[in-house]
Each structure stands twice: as C-alpha cells, then as structure tokens.
Structure 1
C-alpha cells in the first residue's frame, strides 16, 4: 500500500514529511501514527490520509500530477513569482499582489519610489512604472505558457517513469534588455 497525506492542499508521501509541514505551520508536535484508525487520527490534524494500491493506473497518476501542477502554479503566481526587469535587470516581484500594486502606481501616472524584490528602493518615472506593469503581465503570460507546457507533458507521458521525470518548476521571466 502506498500512503499519501494531504495537508493544506499539498501531497506528502511520508509521515515524516507531513509531520514536518504541520510543525513548521503550527509548531505542533504529536504522537506517532497509530496502527488502527489512521484516517481519524490524521483528520483530527486537518490531514487527509489516503492508502492506494501500488500499481496505480497511469491515468490516475496523471490526474494526481495535474493536481500537483495546479498547486505548484498557484503557489508561484500567488506568492513566489518574480521577473528580471529591463530597467537595469532588477529582480521584481511578479505575483498577483505585485500586479495590483504596480497597476495602482501606474494609475497615478506620476513618478514614485518602487521597492524591488530585494526591498531596495528605486525612483521611477511614470513611464518606467508602466514598463514594469507590462513586464509583470508578460511574466504572467510566460508562467501560464510554462504551465500549459507542463500540462501537455503530463498528458502525453506514456509511462510512469516519464511522468515521474516531469519537474513542476516555474522559471522567472527575463524582460528584453534585462542584464
């Protein structure tokens, strides 16, 4: 039997991994997994415990990988995305909040101080702020293209081994002219 633990939308393949995640999230330590009634034990910790036969079908594994892709993409777009701007190659946050913030600055249509991803201030003109907004949008489109490429790789995998080799990693966009 293959065990899986789903905690906060993330799938963990071992008890140790999920324990570490719960501890990091809630600073909660707890007793070892019991032999009986494991589902109830984990449910009390907000974890879904799943046992599956080892010889899962390729289609099932593809569906599971597609779910993992959605979670990885969501994490990237909601808090991890960044780009390298053409404005000096500076690393810029490019998640959804950054888009809202930069759009707000662009709407003011005047110069402003902008903090990059390393929390360094930059005095930007109204035109430079509009360039940043466009580059963040381009970065979003680049992220979606990577997601679609990964989805196509997952769907076209012909073996479990091929499927396992697919890494769910998103790379930052580098705007033209960035160094």
Structure 2
C-alpha cells in the first residue's frame, strides 16, 4: 500500500464477533496501522442469519446461527453489562421468541441481571389443581358480584348478582310500605338486565326476589359441584376437561 492510503478492514467486538468495517491508514512505509480489534482479512458475507466470530488463527470466520426458536436460545447467557451489536440483537431475539410462549420463558438472574432462556418446568397435578381452584373462585366471584342474570317467569331477563339482590329487596320493602298505606296497589318501575323498564307490583317483586335467591343458591351449588370435581381429579387431563361456566337460570319455562 502507498503511504497514507486508506483501507476498510473488519472490526470485532470484545467477544471476537464481526461488528462492521473501519478505516485504517497506511504508514510512511505502506504498512497498515491496525487499530485495536481490527484484522486485515476478508470480511464475512452477512446473510442476516448468522453472527461471525473470528477464528482461532485470526485468518477467517466461524459462522454462528442466530436462534430461530426459543429452544435454540437455551444455554446462551447475555451479560447485562455488554452493549455489543450481537448482544443487543440476541436480547431482541430472546424477547420475541419467548413472548406468549407456554413452554419457554425469559429469565433474568437476580444477582447479575444476566438474561437466559429456559424451558418452563411441566406443572404437577397439584399445581394445575391449585390454578383450577383459583379460576373457579375468580369465575364465581365475577358471576355473583357483577355478571349473574336469570330469565324470569315475568317474561324478561333480570340481573341476579349481589347488587340486584339488594335492589330488589329494597323495592319489596318500599312496595310493602306503600301497600300498607294505600288501598290501591302502586306499581314500581323495575329495570331489567337490558335496561328496559317494567311496571311491577308487590307480588311480581316477591317473585323476582325468590327467583334471585334460587339463582344464587344454584350458583353456589354449581360452585361446590365444580370444586368437588376438581378435588377428585387425579390427572392433568381430567382437570383440563373441567369447564368453569355459570349459566343463567331459566324460570320462564315454569311460568
């Protein structure tokens, strides 16, 4: 090379992986003034699918496949302190391949903050049973406190959750007080589950009150039935097969 001539040569990171080209100048004798971690060899052909590590003899490159599955990430440790292009790329790969996975998870060491990917241990029957019990309690609470409905014998759908129970009890009390003070029956407006108003008297309100009580009791009975099934299951398959659903009671058929 001629003195002061510039040549682009490969540069490697602190771990020996190719991370781009840098310019080096020839000295007065025409010899390249190589910077740190620069090597006067042919650059690897980047295919987007591999990292390239400088070979032991420093005369070539060893291709290392970029993980395509979470399983391929297992065993790779990402140092929290390293900021190389390769480590940044692997952090992105780890996040992408483990996101939403039910079989592999991203783990960060509590002491070093190093990141790894590991296979999620298979749950035991007792762990699945515990999760199923929690799901049952959550579903029942959601249904009973803010989602329960019934098909009333009065011809409309009514809320039957805990709030509806309190509201109907209050209406019954009000209707009884008005009935005691007046000779003619006074109708009250009852809002059904679809937010439509219905004129109802004391007899209809008591019917609703009884139906809501029966619906609540039925929900409790269903909960205990499902709990017993969960407790009796002996395999994960049996536990998975138990559906947790609370259905509205239908009193219209008996009307």
Structure 2-normalised TM-score?
A: 0.49
1:128 to 165, 181, 204: 204
Q: What root-mean-square deviation, in Å, do the aligned CA atoms of Structure 1 and Structure 2 show?
A: 2.7
State the 1:57 CA deviation: 2.0
State the 1:56 CA deviation: 2.4
State the 1:54 CA deviation: 2.8
1:72 to 130, 139, 147: 139
Cα gap change, 1:160/1:129 in structure 2, threshold over 3 Å: closer, same or farther?
A: same
Q: Describe the superposition over 1:3-40 as per-residue Cα deviations: whole angstroms up to 9, x where unpaired.
A: xxxxxxxxxxx955xxxxxxxxxxxxxxxx976369xx
Larger radius of gyration: 2
Cα gap change, 1:65/1:175 in structure 2, threshold over 3 Å: closer, same or farther?
A: same
- The list of structure 1 runs, each at least 4 consecutive aligned residues, that deviate by more than 3 angstroms after superposition, is 176-179
Structure 1-normalised TM-score?
A: 0.69
The question of 1:173 aligning with 2:249 is answered yes
Report the count of equivalent residues.
Answer: 138
The question of 1:159 aligning with 2:235 is answered yes
> What is the distance in 2 between the residues matched to 1:120 and 1:176?
18
Structure 1 gaps, min length 5 = 1-13, 17-32, 39-50
Cα pair 2:151 2:252 within 8 Å, conserved: no
Q: Describe the superposition over 1:66-104 as per-residue Cα deviations: whole angstroms up to 9, x where unpaired.
A: 11100010000011100010112x110011100010000
Aligned partner of 1:115 in structure 2 is 191
